Amino acid sequence: MIFMRFRHVELFCRDTDVSKRFFSEGLGFDIEEEQQGGFVWLRSGGVEFLLRPGIHSDSSADSYQDASQAIVLVTDNLEETCRRLASHGIPIRGQDGSPDCLTFSGPDGHWFQLIQEDA
Helix (H, G, I), strand (E, B) or coil at 17: helix
**Model pTM above 0.85:** yes
pLDDT in the model for residue 67: 80
Given a cut of 60, whether residue 36 has pLDDT beyond it is: yes
pLDDT tens for 45-86 read 999 999 999 986 666 678 888 787 899 999 999 999 999 999
Task: Give the gyration radius of the chain's Cα atoms.
Answer: 15
pLDDT at 119 > cutoff 60: no
Say what the pLDDT of residue 81 is.
96
What pLDDT is recorded for position 17? 96
Query: Which pLDDT score is estimated for 16?
Result: 95
Question: Which tens digits make up the pLDDT trace of 1-26?
Answer: 888 888 899 999 999 999 999 999 99
Q: How confident is the model at residue 99 (pLDDT cuts 50, 70, 90)?
A: confident
Report the C-alpha gap between 70 and 68 in whole angstroms: 7
Mean pLDDT of 35-49: 96
Give me the domains of the chain, ranges plus CATH numbers: 9-55+67-116 (3.10.180.10)
Longest CA span, the chain: 49
